[in-house]
Chain A
Amino acid sequence: MSGDGPGAAGTRALERLVGFGRQLRARGLPVGTGRILVFCRAAAALAGGGGLDRDSLYWAGRVTMVARREHLAAYDEAFRAWFPDAKDQMLATVGEWVPKTELPPEIEVVLEEGFQEESWRPPSPEEGGEEALVGVLASNAEVLRTKSFTELTDDELRAAHAVIRSLALELPTRHARRWRPSPYGRRFDQRRTLRASLRTQGEPFRRAWRDRRRKPRPLVLVLDVSGSMSTYSRALMQFGYAAIRAGRQVEVFCFGTRLTRVTRALRVGEPDRAMREVAAKVSDWDGGTRIGASLKELLDRYGQHAFLRGSVLVLCSDGLERGDPELLGVQMARLGRLAHRLVWVNPLKGSPRYQPLARGMTAALPHVDRFLPGHNLASLEALCESLG
């Protein structure tokens, strides 16, 4: 191509292309100057000196200026708005002005005008939403923290859920199979010592040590969803949801009179949707709670699975067992042997007058490592701390 620079038609076409990049940016896509440049080069390469069809231009832009799947819909819309016509005059002239490999300096000036790549950050709508919620929360944070979940309004509950999801969950760790170098490690690292000794004529001046990598233990949530317990369990489910999203090994079960695994539903969708699904499955809301039988089902079906053994198991229930308390005691003992740590969250404990006198509770308590209330945000924070 000639180095004469674009003519009048070319300049207009260029402005269209650059304008499209800016349009994307205006719609919230993180499109920097660099990307717009690459887009122009791509359009030029595809045109190969001739014209360009609209479809190719679409792909040139999509491949060069979109970097996330979530942005594809926004891109499509912007493209339709900016290049509505397949017989666009601009398309025919693209190849005439764009040099194949480099853009003339004046175009770079056009591109640089008025915006800087690094300082610009698009406001993401979801983030905005979360921030707004947290904003509401900050104004009356203390009230919200100490109010029981059952006393919160819907809006407050949503805000509380957002906070729960953001709680940093620190799980205790266990040794993994693989080794990593560590100056305070307990094992001698022959390999690295030898390697270092080669720099000193084979004399091992520097000794290297290694240690096992540590992995967070799996978290298992077993949530009572019968009657009044569902509000508390819903809060804990946010917990499980966040942990799954953080890539942790998490299993979530719900129970009333029988046990349902909801890990899958949580992995696929939102916690509230999972909760509705559970509600559909647990038909006997007023049938009472059979904790012992549900735990037995958990142990019989999943006792051999890797996620129970050595896990941190959090059981949320009021402990009002309708079944046989003795069965509950036996199952808790089994669980206690299998899990690394057994935490019982009982919202009733939030009341100062509460005493664990129910027969189910007394049967279970000897096997429980931690007994916590978990009826409001503050106590969930405490739960979070006690897990690590």
Chain B
Amino acid sequence: MPAGEGAGPGALPVASVEELVTALREHAYLADHGLATAIWLALALDKPLLLEGEAGVGKTEVAKVLAELLGRRLVRLQCYEGIDASQALYEWDYSRQLIAVRAAQLGEQGVGDLFGPEFLVERPLLAAVRAGADAVLLIDELDRADDEFEAFLLEVLSEFAVTIPEIGRVDAAHPPAVVITSNRTRELHDALKRRCLFHWIDHPSVEREVEIMRVRAPEVSETLARQVAAAVARLRAMDVAKRPGVAETIDWSKALSFLGAVHLEPETAAATLGALLKDHDDLQLVRGRLDQVLEDL
């Protein structure tokens, strides 16, 4: 891989990791030192950033905030089982092609170039390659795609060039910033990981989660935020099948605050628990031990 020609830290709008932390905070994203270092290095070294972590810790958000912060366009490729090149890269608009063919047969107009750019449907990867350094490419939930797609993606990521047989080669003068997220429902290939910087996002500490709530849900009182964060931390340590993410914490604190709660009380907590836990068994488990969760907050 050509080592970040031209880019380097100098070309970045943020000169250091500390500046990046501040800039992210201005965009309402609170990153710890580790995550900020990972993002900064990914930008400085022109490497894709692979983010793993449980659902709801803010992996996807990183790409969105980054696009805002850099003033770039966010190109999102949502992965799913069975995704293939025609959905990720490009596709021909065959109905329009067919109409053009028929029109030509009727002599109304010339066939022209059936495989010209006007019949090309651009999909996220091609869009990102074309936009180059003006884009942040988010490849979301890559673990959901099949192995074959991962191999294909590896090719695109190492070259940042796409060859369309009928048109020619499209390549990025400078590669876009790439953020890949995975919920880790399966292990990604080592070959792909080798090309990326890796960061594991953990659930935030209690203090950080309080801060996040204060930024994301300013209407929630400080005491409530503190109690909610502490309760959620206890809950995550319990044997729940689906541990609540930051998004759920925010939802819960919003729900509590909407009901006028200033402190975390057992009744309102029990009534709003559905904002936090989405699994029936988990709900039953926690309802049964709610006193324990709310004790001495």
Given known A-B contacts A56-B17, A67-B190, A201-B101, A46 and B281 have beta carbons under 8 A apart: no
Q: Does A21 contact B (CB under 8 A)?
A: no
Which residues from B are CB-within-8-Å of A66? 198
Task: Among B5, B97, B186, find the residue whose CB has the most chain A CB atoms closer than 10 A.
Answer: B97
**A-side interface residues, number (CB < 8 Å):** 39
Question: How far, in Å, is B111 (CB) from chain A's closest CB?
Answer: 9
Interface residues of chain B, those whose CB is within 8 Å of chain A, are 3-5, 8-9, 15-17, 33-34, 37-38, 40-41, 44-45, 47, 50, 52, 82, 92, 94-95, 97-98, 101-102, 105, 114, 184-187, 190, 193-194, 196-200, 239, 241, 281
Q: Check B101–A64 contact: CB distance below 8 A.
A: no
Q: What 4 pairs between A and B have smallest CB-CB spacing?
A: A59-B37, A67-B193, A202-B101, A45-B44
Instruction: Give the distance in Å from the alpha carbon of A42 to the alpha carbon of B42 in the complex.
Output: 9
Instruction: Give the distance in Å from the alpha carbon of A192 to the alpha carbon of B187 in the complex.
Output: 33
Q: Check B52–A60 contact: CB distance below 8 A.
A: no
Q: Which residue of chain B has its CB nearest to the CB of A178?
A: B82
Residue-by-residue, is A190-214 near B (CB-CB < 8 Å gives 1, otherwise 0)? Answer: 0100110010011000000000010
Instruction: Give the distance in Å from the alpha carbon of A46 to the alpha carbon of B16 in the complex.
Output: 8
Given known A-B contacts A48-B9, A67-B198, A247-B186, A198 and B94 have beta carbons under 8 A apart: yes
Instruction: Give the distance in Å from the alpha carbon of A66 to the alpha carbon of B194 in the complex.
Output: 9
Question: How far, in Å, is B154 (CB) from chain A's closest CB?
Answer: 14
Residue-by-residue, is A64-94 near B (CB-CB < 8 Å gives 1, otherwise 0)? Answer: 1011110010000000000000000000000
Q: Check A63–B37 contact: CB distance below 8 A.
A: yes
Q: Check B8–A38 contact: CB distance below 8 A.
A: no
Query: Which label, helix, strand, loop or mixed, suits the secondary structure of the A interface?
Result: helix
Q: Check B52–A100 contact: CB distance below 8 A.
A: no
**Other-chain residue from B82, B186, B190 in contact with A30 (beta carbon distance below 8 A):** B190
Q: Check A34–B37 contact: CB distance below 8 A.
A: no
Which residues from B are CB-within-8-Å of A201? 101
Q: Which residue of chain B has its CB nearest to the CB of A43?
A: B41
Which residues from A are CB-within-8-Å of B4? 101
User: Which residues of A (329-349) have their CB < 8 Å from a CB of B?
Assistant: none
Q: Check A69–B52 contact: CB distance below 8 A.
A: yes
7 A-B contact pairs sorted by A residue (CB < 8 Å):
A42-B197, A56-B17, A67-B50, A67-B190, A67-B198, A195-B94, A202-B105
Instruction: Give the distance in Å from the alpha carbon of A261 to the alpha carbon of B190 in the complex.
Output: 36
**Beyond the given A41-B45, A45-B8, A46-B17, could you list 20 further A-B residue pairs with CB under 8 A, ordered by the A residue number?**
A35-B194, A41-B3, A45-B9, A45-B44, A45-B45, A56-B17, A59-B34, A63-B37, A63-B41, A63-B198, A64-B41, A67-B193, A68-B187, A69-B200, A180-B82, A191-B94, A194-B95, A198-B98, A198-B114, A267-B241
Q: Does A62 contact B (CB under 8 A)?
A: yes
Q: Does A102 contact B (CB under 8 A)?
A: yes
Q: Does A113 contact B (CB under 8 A)?
A: no
Given known A-B contacts A45-B41, A60-B41, A194 and B5 have beta carbons under 8 A apart: no
Q: Does A353 contact B (CB under 8 A)?
A: no
Task: Among A45, A67, A191, A268, find the residue whose CB has the most chain B CB atoms closer than 10 A.
Answer: A67
Q: Check A34–B194 contact: CB distance below 8 A.
A: yes
Question: How far, in Å, is B54 (CB) from chain A's closest CB?
Answer: 10
Q: Check A268–B3 contact: CB distance below 8 A.
A: no
Q: Does A55 contact B (CB under 8 A)?
A: yes
Q: Which residue of chain B has its CB nearest to the CB of A100?
A: B8
Which residues from A are CB-within-8-Å of B198? 63-64, 66-68
**Other-chain residue from B3, B38, B97, B190 in contact with A198 (beta carbon distance below 8 A):** B97
Which residues from B are CB-within-8-Å of A69? 52, 184, 200
**Other-chain residue from A56, A60, A63, A194 in contact with B98 (beta carbon distance below 8 A):** A194
Q: Check A64–B94 contact: CB distance below 8 A.
A: no
Q: Which residue of chain A has its CB nearest to the CB of B285?
A: A264
Q: Does A256 contact B (CB under 8 A)?
A: no
Which residues from B are CB-within-8-Å of A180? 82
Q: Does A319 contact B (CB under 8 A)?
A: no
Question: How far, in Å, is B41 (CB) from chain A's closest CB?
Answer: 5
Which residues from B are CB-within-8-Å of A42? 41, 44-45, 197
Instruction: Give the distance in Å from the alpha carbon of A69 to the alpha carbon of B53 in the complex.
Output: 9
Which residues from B are CB-within-8-Å of A267? 241
Instruction: Give the distance in Å from the alpha carbon of A349 to the alpha carbon of B47 in the complex.
Output: 60
Residue-by-residue, is A95-114 near B (CB-CB < 8 Å gives 1, otherwise 0)? Answer: 00000111000000000000
Which residues from A are CB-within-8-Å of B15? 48
Which residues from A are CB-within-8-Å of B184? 69
Q: Does A292 contact B (CB under 8 A)?
A: no
Instruction: Give the distance in Å from the alpha carbon of A202 to the alpha carbon of B99 in the complex.
Output: 10
Which residues from A are CB-within-8-Å of B94? 191, 194-195, 198
Given known A-B contacts A194-B94, A198-B98, A60 and B37 have beta carbons under 8 A apart: yes
Question: How far, in Å, is A180 (CB) from chain B's closest CB?
Answer: 7
Q: Check B241–A101 contact: CB distance below 8 A.
A: no
Question: How far, in Å, is B260 (CB) from chain A's closest CB?
Answer: 35
Given known A-B contacts A59-B34, A67-B193, A67-B194, A202 and B41 have beta carbons under 8 A apart: no
